Structure 1
Amino acid sequence: VGTFWIKLEKEDFLWDPHYLNGLFVGSLDGSATGRIGLWGPQDEFYYGSGLTFVNYTGSASALAGCNNCASFEHKNQGGQTYRYDRLKFVNVDRRYRWMWPYKDIVWDLDGTLTGTPNGTVTPYYAFNEFPGCSKQGFLYDNGLICNASYFPRRLQVYGVEPEELDFQDMVITSTAGNDTIPMEDKEFYGWLVPIVHSQYYKMGWDSDTDFQEITLRYSEPELVNYSGWNEWLGASFTYIDYREHFLVTNDGREMPMSLGTNLPSPNDPIGSSVLDEK
């Protein structure tokens, strides 16, 4: 059987499961090739608990996410955080399958999905392969499992000017590696990046055109507040020859920019920035 939602009603961050104590059977004879047991929706705060998956073999998968995100009508850039616990798998070759746009953040509350309590599994991006994360095989569709100290977050990059940067790939580099993210035109006009919290990333575009304006949205307040971590994101954006003043704002308030080469520290106020004029 395949079960899914596309859109949830407007949800709050609660601990009442959307699916509770369910049984999903791919087939009675084990020939469930290509089937998906349960698709995650296009919304945050989704939660499944006490689910058992039986007979998902071959190219089938017990779980997948971002249902219908590739369709014109419901196109969505994904990156939602799905919560799961108390899962069981019987005769399952693949527990999770990544679907376009390949951005799901799957939070394993008790370790029954990944073997890592409070860990996550996400699609593989080289810039997220930090020491607390390890690339997986077919069981997790070549994804990346991270322990609780390396929790991924959804980063929206939008409001980018000039328009010459539209539909240019964003190039992202960290101490772990580098990879690219394409731009999409829905559900917002920009780039969606799953990034690990409290890490530094260098971000730019595969273009000789400098950015002039940019807006970032980091995760959702409810998820960040629940974690209890002192989270931060270090992001440096490259430019070649754009010589005008960079105005930095946080929630509508101007943040003074300092000059120099030292990156802001995690203890600096939100929105702290440095302009390296060299």
Structure 2
Amino acid sequence: MALPLTLSVLPAKADLLSDIQSQGELKCAVYSDVPPFSAPDPKTRQLVGMDVDLCNALAKQMGVKLQLMPTSIEARIAVIATGRADVLIANLAYTKTRGKQIQFSDPYYVAKEMLLVKKPNADKMLADFKNKRISATKGTTSEQSIVLKGGKPLTFQDAASAFLALEQNKAVGFVTNTMTGIKMINQAKKEGIDLAMIKEPMALEPIGIGMKRDEPALLAKVNDSLKAMDDDGTIDKIWATWIGPNTEYKMVREERVQPLASLKFEALE
């Protein structure tokens, strides 16, 4: 007598890359209004910026059309975790917490948290600011970096107030990313205030593309695409257009696309 054959019906594992390829479209989340990464063009009202160009280049490399998904700083992780977008390109720094919520591509550059000080303190080392009051925006990785380096965080709800604390000598330094720091130093100079940036970074923040966890095929495809974009000069061209040496940010791209594990850095929470 033949025994009944019991078939175990398991749900097919989702493969986001296959879905993207079959639909012929990549949903790429970007900021709704954070220049120079993604913001409305004053004339056309279309989103433009470094991250928009990266989305376009990634979609082209993957052989699909692009659908931009504007999002806010607060919602950018959720838009990926809930599957509303396929990838997130929003100047996204790797942190331990984010690494548990979504997966990251290989970094395409490494942002730095930097300490801004009054000009007379420009030649000091970070160790000289241990146990000193240093300002930052509340709840940011800038604040975390102050704790990491042994300083005393003096936090504010916005960057302008934290920066003012330095100008008014309520803090000996102000921490922000390199790009913002350069803009603020230039702005202060126009107001007759000489500021400088300590050369040693407070913290390193690898910037990558965010994706939903447990999507190995998509991760591999995005990493391969980034490497190709790096090798053919696409990322360099986009960088030069938006934040390069001939822009107000005067940023020099120092790192190439590489695995996160190959970078020597202390991840922030």
Q: Is TM (by shorter chain) over 0.5?
A: no
TM-score, reference length from structure 1: 0.25
Higher helix share: 2
TM-score, reference length from structure 2: 0.25
Higher strand share: 1
Instruction: Report 1 or 2 for greater relative contact order, CA contacts < 8 Å, sequence distance ≥ 6.
Output: 2
